[in-house]
Structure 1
Amino acid sequence: MRIGVMGTGAMAAALGGAWARAGHEVFVGGRDGAAAAALAGRIGAAGHGSPAAAAAYGEVALLAVPAGEAPALAREHAAALAGRTVVDCTNPLEPGPGGVMLSIAPGRSVAALIGAAAPGAHVVKAFNLAHSSVWERPAGAFGAVPPAVPFCADDAGAAGRVVELITGMGWSPMPAGGLDRAAYVEATAAFAIGVWWAGGSPRLAFPEALA
């Protein structure tokens, strides 16, 4: 699969690197050409260039920029993103008096804002519930039962591409509904990160029901 990574930060490096190792053709696009070139070399990408070049590169585009910048970036490159699977891995978070808070109105999501900014794109919310360092771990690093990646998508083809990306990394896809449910996945990130910062383990809050 050909994937254009829009961004040069930690998530761009972690996901882009994981996909390159899985055999996908990854192109890194950034406003800072030197940073894009450096990241492409570090992860073994097929090429590098501008965000516009990344948006037009392949079947999938990853928006790996701060959540507040993602809708504007999608709007700027809406024509190139039309018809493509656009993966949103962002979290709209900010510090609050009691811990991490959402920086977006209740019930809204960055994924939906990206979809409105680039209405021809097939937006998928995914990869936002783990720290960038987790995505850098090799397939099989978590034992016999692979951890899950919740994702929200409206388009079946886009969902299928993201499932392929998830399984190729050694993870398990977890369908979480349509894009109208992305707000819940983003809110879960706020909960999980708050628990981590408090020294806890959020997975312990979700025990399996007894059969």
Structure 2
Amino acid sequence: MADALGTQWARAGHEVLVGARDGDKAARLAARIGPGARAGGLRDAAGFGDAVLLAVAYDGVKEVLGHAGDLLRGRTVIDCVNGIVHPGVTLATGAGPSVARQIADATGAHVVKAFNLCPDDLWRMTPPLVDGRPLTVPICGDDTDALATVRTLTTDLGCVPADAGGLDRAGVLEATAAYVIGMYIGGVDPRSALPSPM
């Protein structure tokens, strides 16, 4: 996700800093993204730019946040993490707080849940389209400025941002991701289970 979204944002003219625990891995990814991207550590990424994209496996969230320390407090953090348990495609968070809420509570960041419903291949499309139409990106968050930043980043991808409620609704997006992933694994296009607009 960091590769796909970072590449598209760099193409749109944004500066991107790739942060990773492994400096060589970060440097390789920044090189793949191309002009406008550079590499650094996790703390470098936590303090860089207008927003931080957290794109790690759910099991690594706490460790990455620990490396970032207090640098995320008050910053815009985009959470595209899906805490999914295989097999069965269930939520790792169970009935507890969403991944997004856990991140917000641990860091004091202005977290926006977004970009978690589609695989990275779709984000590599320029622009991402579904049946010839721009992809709609649901976003959940509480902070007005953070939401505005994520709306801009969504539009810069060629997508359409859709307000999906406050951060308390992030769990709904995470459950929707489990549904979508489960359908795909079962060989069913999840769009076939949704009614067309009237």
Range class of TM-score, shorter chain = over 0.9
Match of 1:26 among 16, 28, 31: 16
Per the alignment, do residues 136 and 78 of structure 1 end up closer, same or farther by CA in structure 2, a change over 3 Å counting?
same
2:47 to 56, 61, 65: 56
Deviations 1:171-190 (A, max 9, x none): 11111100001001000000
- Measured after TM superposition, the shift of residue 58 of structure 1 is 1.2
Partner of residue 4, structure 2: 14
Give the Cα–Cα distance (whole angstroms) in 2 for the partners of residues 18 and 197 of structure 1. 27
For the residue of structure 1 that corresponds to 2:17, the secondary structure is strand
Moved more, 65-74 or 109-118: 65-74
CA distance in 2, matches of 1:183, 1:33: 32
1:103 to 1:140, Cα distance in 2 relative to 1, 3 A: closer
- 1:74 pairs with 2:62: no
Kept after mapping to 1: 8 A contact 2:134/2:160:
yes
Unaligned runs of 5+ in 1: 1-10
Is structure 2 residue 193 aligned with structure 1 residue 205? yes
Instruction: Report the AA paired with residue 117 of structure 1.
Output: A
Q: Which has the higher helix share?
A: 2
Aligned to 1:124: 112
Deviation at 1:108, TM superposition (A): 2.1
Q: Deviations over 1:115-134 (max 9, x none)?
A: 01001x11000000000111
Residue in structure 2 matching 1:171, options 155, 159, 163: 159
The DSSP-based 3-state class of the residue aligned with 1:87 is strand
Q: Which amino acid aligns with 2:17?
A: F
Task: Say what the alpha-carbon RMSD is for the aligned residues.
Answer: 1.5
* 1:195/1:184 CA distance change after superposition, 3 Å: same
Query: What's the offset of the Cα at 1:191?
Result: 0.4
Give TM-score scaled by structure 2 length.
0.93
Secondary structure at the aligned position of 1:115 is classed as: helix
Give the distance between the partners of 1:63 and 1:140, measured in 2 at CA: 20
1:182 equivalenced with 2:167 (yes/no): no
Counting matched residue pairs gives 197
Paired position in structure 2 for 1:36: 26
One-letter amino acid of the structure 2 residue matched with residue 46 of structure 1: A
Structure 1 match to 2:93:
104
Identity of aligned residues (%): 47
- 2:81 equivalent to 1:90: yes
For the structure 1 residues 140 and 123, does the alpha-carbon distance in structure 2 shift closer, same or farther, using more than 3 Å as the test? closer
TM-score normalised per structure 1: 0.88
Tell me which of 139, 143, 152 is aligned to 2:140: 152
Change in Cα spacing, 1:176 to 1:141, as seen in structure 2 (3 Å) is: closer
Q: What is the Cα deviation at residue 141 of structure 1?
A: 4.5
